[in-house]
A and B are shown apart, each in its own frame.
Chain A
């Protein structure tokens, strides 16, 4: 079953671009990464899904229900953590969490205590007095206290120290094991790589790829570095599937996608002194999507 289904979703801000023609689906039980640099349209997509803003054209469903028409109903089962958390001043953490819980028709007191314990959050402090990281923790507890079926996170780790990040990720994995679907937006690849099963890559308001993380890593590019005895003809490795060919004296490096045997035969035909074949890390794959169309 698809928890989120986005079809040709477009959001324009007047004449300027928000997102255009975005389509992808998130399946039940997935941790789905949504990745792109700042300003690519991640937050716009998420805010449209939450009907804080409305689509210019296209549509989307969550739990099979239209996001605009059934917004309040859908939100019973959504937990959301925005990239920047702002709360009502003059409230204690406890009061804010209770206020938040009062919107859901279930008793969340036990879960609030559990989450506050895990995240090491003092419930009796005033929100005004909290540091950025601690405010973020309030956001995390606030987003998870009603045990939502869909968790939407927009750049959730900013302001959290590495230790808390670790705890937070463990918490998410635990929620996922219990059945929650997670949409995780980020511009930091390592955290996406660590958590997600699949990713959608967004660039300038458009989706450029939706792939499994494993496919991204396996099926794509291998990094070749060849050291030869004598300098090579710079065009020697110029075959289909080769990218970013660089030749410096006896050192040749390139990215390759395709039938690996062809390259190996080419390599076998020259006298080599050393050879490296590496899996590119996600960062490089990601940069590739960005440079391809630049």
Chain B
């Protein structure tokens, strides 16, 4: 319990910054929507004139961006990227920082097992990503609601947040398992970021090239895309199962490898 509280405290400041960041992201996105929709320009027509590849790279795809919910669907990928970067870095550093700061000789000579420490740290990270998810949820709800002209958005936003939370968890354990496995755990955070960017790139490439649709199981960014889960689509069972499986495996990897290996002192 003491490690859990200590971790919550030491990540509090960074959580506040991330929360502010994600709030500003939603705000600036929706303010942009307002200026676009009030300028009277038919946005869908404008987009129709753009090449498909450009739309794919921008993540615009098939949204009706003249509605607030459609515009939010477009914004969602950026919120998702922010939240997953946060989780991946958090998962990696919360494990690796004892070795980075050379505090292993403090913590692990106390009557605490490796498993106990990891459990407390993952629990603290879990609370952090949950809070960031709630902040995103509430900011989205309030700001999208403000511009929705009566369109009901709560359900759509809730489902995207559910998808985002699953991916946050997944990237958190990607980070933590890297830190647990790697002897030089300091590099785990940057390694996790590389994996995140690579999987995101794969998802963009898949959008550009329909021939490689089959690769979609490889990248979590294809699991819960706004265009599929919003507007009544819902989370697909296969992807929930797949994410759940990965989360379980990587959590186990985190515990097992951290227990087995020599700590860097």
Contact = CB atoms under 8 A, between A and B. Distances in A.
Query: On chain B, which size bracket covers the interface?
Result: 20 to 34
Contacts of B108: 50-52
B103 A88 contact: yes
Contact of A52 (B112, B116, B260, B265): B265
Interface stretch (A25-33, A100-108, A199-207): A100-108
Contact of B109 (A73, A78, A90): A78
B10 A52 contact: no
Interface stretch (A79-87, A178-186, A189-197, A279-287): A79-87
Contact of B110 (A75, A89, A90): A75
B104 A72 contact: no
Interface in B51-88: none
Nearest to A54: B262
B103 A52 contact: no
A8 B87 CA distance: 44
B interface: dominant SS: loop
B17 interface: no
Interface string B1-17: 01000100010000000
A84 B263 CA distance: 16
B112 A103 contact: yes
A71 interface: yes
B101 interface: yes
A47 interface: yes
Given A53-B263, A80-B105, A80-B109, A72 B6 contact: no
Given A75-B111, A103-B111, A52 B105 contact: yes
Contacts, number: 60
Contacts of B113: 71-72
Contacts of A75: 109-112
A44 B2 CA distance: 29
Contact of B106 (A51, A76, A86): A86
B2 A102 contact: yes
Contacts of B263: 52-53
Contact of B116 (A72, A87, A104): A72
Given A52-B263, A87-B106, A99 B112 contact: no
B111 A72 contact: yes
Nearest to B1: A102
Contacts of B110: 75, 100, 103-104
Given A47-B265, A52-B262, A89 B111 contact: no
A52 B111 contact: no
A82 B102 CA distance: 11
Contacts of A102: 2
Interface in B28-54: none
Contacts of A52: 104-105, 108-109, 262-263, 265
Interface string A157-175: 0000000000000000000
Interface in B216-265: 260, 262-263, 265
Contact of A88 (B10, B109, B260, B265): B10
The residue in B2, B102, B106 that gathers the most chain A C-beta atoms within 10 A of its C-beta is B106
A293 to B, nearest CB: 29
Interface in A127-180: 142
Chain B CB within 10 A, most for which of A90, A99, A142: A99
Contacts of A100: 106, 110
A86 B111 contact: no
A47 B102 CA distance: 14
Contacts of A50: 108-109
B262 A86 contact: no
Given A53-B262, A53-B263, A89-B101, A103 B2 contact: yes
A215 to B, nearest CB: 32
Interface of B: 2, 6, 10, 101-106, 108-113, 116, 260, 262-263, 265
Q: What 5 A-B pairs are tightest by C-beta distance, nearest first?
A: A86-B102, A53-B262, A103-B110, A102-B2, A76-B111
12 contacts: A47-B105, A50-B109, A52-B108, A52-B109, A72-B112, A73-B111, A75-B109, A75-B111, A82-B105, A84-B102, A86-B102, A90-B10
